[in-house]
Amino acid sequence: MRRQWMVATVLAGQLLIGCGTAKTAKVTVKFDITGGDNAFGATVYAQEVTTGRTLLFPYGPHMPYLAVDVPAPGRYVFYARLVEAPEDYHYGYTNEAPVAYGHGTRGGTQDPGKASLIAVEAKPGGRCKVYINDYRAILPAAGQPVAVPWRLG
């Protein structure tokens, strides 16, 4: 009897562990403001477009990338604000490819009309990548449903 109870306990624990991981999606975030690098600390935001639920993640200077888990299912837009000047320097995920940056050019889409944020579909157990590098992106108000231009990527 005791052995059956131990086996049942172990199986229940494995089921709970499996359920916990299936409810999230892994997102690899790259924040790039100049030539494939980021010399500044930033806060990365993942915001669910319908509910406005906003998750915050620290992104350190010169980090190669950040791996985060977001609740699934859901659609999330990603953006970042520099720690040193969050209202003055902000960037969004609007482009699938790296954008060349220079202090004078500031990169980005170069077209404010095409600066809509890309939303990623978070599926249970899924994986995706985002590339935050567009300073022209219009950012949503944190904690509220996304009311700025966005499109599903």
Is the pLDDT at 28 greater than 70? The verdict is yes
Is the pLDDT at 121 greater than 90? The verdict is yes
24-152, what's its fold? Answer: Immunoglobulin-like (2.60.40)
> CA 143 to CA 61: how far, in whole Å?
26
- pLDDT tens sequence across 49-95: 999 999 999 999 999 999 999 999 999 999 999 999 998 899 999 88
- pLDDT tens sequence across 104-115: 444 444 455 556
Q: In DSSP terms, which residues pair with 27 in a beta bridge? A: 68, 128
The pLDDT, as a whole number, for residue 41 is 95
Beta strands in 3-149 (DSSP E): 24-31, 42-48, 54-59, 66-71, 74-82, 90-92, 117-122, 127-132
- What residue segments make up the domains of the chain, in order of their start? 24-152
Query: Does residue 120 contact residue 73 with C-beta atoms inside 8 Å?
Result: no
100 versus 27: the higher-pLDDT residue is 27
